[in-house]
Amino acid sequence: MAAGRTTGLATGGRANTPASGSPLLGFVHRRRRGAELFLLVLSLVIGVGGYAAVGLGVDGTVPADIIGYGGWLTALIVAAHIVIRLVAPYADPVLLPLVATLNGLGLAVIHRLDLAYAARGRDTDFAPTQLVWMTLGVLLFVATLVIVRDHRVLARFTYTLGLSAITLLLLPMMPLIGVNRNGARIWINIGSLSFQPGEVAKVLLVLAFAGYLVLHRDALALAGRRVLVVDLPRGRDLGPILAMWLMSLVVLVFQRDLGSSLLFFGLFLVMLYVATERPGWIVVGATLFFAGAIAAWQTLGHVQSRVDIWLHPMRYYRNDVPPFSDQIVEAQFGMGWGGLLGRGFGEGDPTRVTYAESDFIMAAIGEELGLTAVLAVLLCYGLIVERALRVALISRDNFGKLVAVGLASVFALQVFVVIGGVTRLIPLTGLTTPFLSYGGSSLVANWVIIAILLRISDQARRPLPALSTDTEDADGETTQVIKL
């Protein structure tokens, strides 16, 4: 009996029992690519409209290259949409429009900063370069969807991916290619190419952690000694979390990268808890985190400086000698100037904040577009995390569930750490804001993350071929009807 459009069930409205975490048999499965296309049009209005608004606000005219810029941005987004239609038709319809919105807004704000730097006599080409990096990111997005037809294949390479991730994390500490910038050694230079390998390492670590936890979750879930109301893990099972803790400390001490250290350890802890459902791991992880944080604060000068600037920013404002707090103080002044609705493009001076195009792009948004725009951006990030967690809930296999949870955690932790630092909620760490900030390494890696999420989503929402038929309604929406 075929499902009716009104009930969505194949048994006259009676719900069916789900099997092994898969979507309910008997429900109508819609591809929703038409909805995705409509949302993409709205995202392009924001991206191209923002670019035009920058020109009108700063120069009083629409930018001369608006047709070329808008055409190229549209071509990239439409190409990504077409590829999803062809190779992942059941993928989540909201993720790509959210990413396109953030990327388009980021390009417009970076273009605004280029104009502001030019007014100060400094010629920059951050926006054109970012568009090139976006092009590369979309190409890798397409390649990932086309090549990885089944995400479960990646579980075969668990230890290879883990070793590759560790190698990438250690590369900046190698002589000749490792580069120290702004106090952190997280970059490598190969000829004229500059690259941040930690951005790729975070993707590989998620895949490696997921594969490892699927294999060892039963042993890691065993309870050890009970303390108060929490069953702590067994001592013999503490090896993985101790190894991850030590690796995060290596990143903190030798690369002086507080943000990546927090991200990697937090990522593993979240995935470990989700895999085992044991609160004891949260207790152990929190204990290790606070022990490492206190030790770093007591012994590492750059950590002490970050904490002091966080607690007493005005004490170090416009200092003649390091440490300096000009970044965080000017960001607070700028966001205060922007207020609730902002002053508009061209009515602020975001270049007063050092590295406004990368680490502090949220301060530039808050200054000229106001708190409302900041909250809208946070909502977009929240929706990305929510859709990724929804992918985890409906995934049919444990590896896919853990990968989706891990990638959602990457976004959530990174956004919390970077925006928390900009708003002085926590000490400044120096991470980039996903899809908004200038930087090729981060942008390319995040496009690949979205491709992996869409692949898992397509696999989870795709009905069994032998039980389904396609129908098309008057609106052109394709509907998958399950026969029982």
Residue 413: per-residue pLDDT: 92
Buried b / exposed e along 148-176 (16+ C-beta atoms within 10 A): beebeebbeebeebbebbbebbbbbeeee
CA 110 to chain centre: 19
Residue 176 is assigned to a structural domain of this protein: yes
The domain in which residue 404 lies consists of: 29-482
Residue 434 is assigned to a structural domain of this protein: yes
Residue 405: per-residue pLDDT: 96
Residues of the chain with pLDDT under 70: 1-29, 182-183, 223-237, 464-484
What H or E segment, with its residue span, contains residue 421? helix 398-422
Which residue, 217, 202, 141, 199, is CA-closest to 407?
202
Residue 23 is assigned to a structural domain of this protein: no
Q: How high does pLDDT run on average in the chain?
A: 85
Residue 223: per-residue pLDDT: 64
In sign, the C-alpha dihedral spanning 259, 260, 262, 263 is positive
Residue 18 is assigned to a structural domain of this protein: no
Return the structure tokens found at 60: 């009083």
Residue 298: per-residue pLDDT: 85
Buried b / exposed e along 301-318 (16+ C-beta atoms within 10 A): ebbebbbbbbeebeebee
Q: Within 13 Å of residue 198, how many CA atoms lie on the same side as its CB?
A: 27
Give, as one character, the DSSP assignment of residue 227. Answer: E
- Three-class SS of residue 127? helix
Total structural domains within the chain: 1
Residue 3 is assigned to a structural domain of this protein: no
Residue 26: per-residue pLDDT: 40
Q: Which residues contact 13 (CB under 8 A, 6 or more apart)?
A: 7
Residue 2 is assigned to a structural domain of this protein: no
Residue 230: per-residue pLDDT: 66
Full-model pTM: 0.87
Residue 17 is assigned to a structural domain of this protein: no
Give backbone dihedrals phi and psi of 181, rounded to 5 degrees, phi first: -130, 125
Q: What CA–CA distance (Å, rounded) separates 238 from 260?
A: 22
Return the structure tokens found at 246: 């030590």
Residue 6 is assigned to a structural domain of this protein: no
